[in-house]
Amino acid sequence: MTTNTPDRARTRFPGISSRAYEHPADRSALVALRSLTGFDVVLRRLSGLFNERALRLMFLGGTVRVGEGQFHHLHDMVRDAAYILDMPEVPEVYVRQSPTPNAMALGSDHPFIVINTGLIDLLDDEELRFVVGHEVGHILSGHAVYQTMMQILIQLGTRLAWLPLGNIAIGAIIIGLKEWFRKAELSSDRAGLLAGQDLDAAKRTMMKLAGGTRLSEMSSEAFLAQAREYDAAGDVRDGLLKFLNLLPQTHPYAVIRFAEIDRWAKSGEYERILGGDYARRADDGSAKVTDEARAAASAYKESWERSADPFIGKVRDVAEGAASAAGGLFDRLSRRDGGTTTSNSN
């Protein structure tokens, strides 16, 4: 595979696994999603309904396919991102006429990327490079099939909304999908940063998604302060309202994504990956589910401890109280069994 990086060289990551950049809560949400009652049944049913060839033909007929002769700069960007993240296959890209600044990865066997003209008009080249890398990250992580499923379910739920109970089950699964997808967005933001290797461009993208093109009227320091204010805003009621506001959203708010990518870039993990220390796909088969579960639990705990949201504080107190009570019960049962049961604490 060849690549075109006309402005500057970027570090390539041979054999990189999506585990290297995935937010631990991404995998945790997927585990929770798959544990939903009836999810496996719905997935099997949808796999029979979904025709990837028909979907691709729809975009082939109604949008512009990116290539050497059309949107050449986007063509170079996706080839570059696939090269850097060592994707075995360069995904197709389609440009769709829509003022909504959005992009998505769809499909299962051969996922492809769709970018709206509203996003192309909004962003400069380095910001677009971040977005393309973000979508390639979705594909490398296997997110595209679930995003496709979510789009189908949303359309199906709309059609069944007139029935009294017709879309309750579908609605519950959509909520679960959206919760997972908000976590997956944080993972793919990290992939976008690894592909573009320009933290300022990643931050500018979030600011433009929130406030448009007038960057001269915005400040990254003030935007980060706004993210901290949003996190700590109000009392327990405000925290609950933030939670309810987020339920219908497929993406975290821009200030949250800005703060998360800034924190990850400064955590040392980003520099470690740039230095070649990262998980490889060749080792994916030996990755332990229990280790991933511990990592997810640790990430949630760290996030809760870092948050100044009073509502999160109350949830944390309840969770810690329940864990303490459960630990005491376990200890009593262990003593009753004559000390034969052992436990590990983390």
Q: Average pLDDT, stretch 95-124?
A: 94
Domain ranges of the chain: 18-200+270-306, 309-346
**What crossing angle do the helices spanning 168-196 and 199-211 adopt, rounded to 10°?**
140
**Reported confidence tier of residue 311, pLDDT bands at 50, 70, 90:** very low
Q: Quick one: residue 38, left, alpha or beta (phi over 0 = left, psi -120 to 50 = alpha)? A: left
> Residue 94: its pLDDT value, please?
98
- What phi, psi does 278 have (nearest 5°)? -155, 160
**Reported confidence tier of residue 343, pLDDT bands at 50, 70, 90:** very low
Q: Average pLDDT, stretch 95-108?
A: 93
- Give percent of the chain above pLDDT 70: 62
Using the structure block, give the residue that is written with the tokens 């302060």: 225
> Residue 49: its pLDDT value, please?
53
Catalytic residue (one of 135, 179, 185, 260):
135
Q: Catalytic: 135?
A: yes
Considering only residues 2 and 199, tell me which one the structure prediction assigns the higher pLDDT: 199
Report how far residue 165's alpha carbon sits from residue 253's, in angstroms, rounded to the nearest whole number. Answer: 31
Q: pTM score, two decimals?
A: 0.75
Tell me the range of 11-25, 35-49, 264-278 where mean pLDDT is highest: 264-278
Widest Cα–Cα separation across the chain? 76
Q: Average pLDDT, stretch 109-125?
A: 95
- What phi, psi does 95 have (nearest 5°)? -105, 125
> Residue 162: its pLDDT value, please?
55
Which range, of 3-7, 115-119, 306-310, 340-344, averages the lowest pLDDT? 340-344
Report how far residue 146's alpha carbon sits from residue 143's, in angstroms, rounded to the nearest whole number. Answer: 5
In the predicted model, is pLDDT for residue 55 greater than 70?
yes
> Residue 199: its pLDDT value, please?
97
Shortest CA distance to 16 belongs to which of 239, 200, 221, 277? 277
Shortest CA distance to 260 belongs to which of 327, 340, 186, 153? 186
Residue 120, judged by CB atoms within 10 A of its CB (0-12, 13-18, 19+), counts as middle
Shortest CA distance to 136 belongs to which of 101, 196, 91? 91
In the predicted model, is pLDDT for residue 341 greater than 90?
no
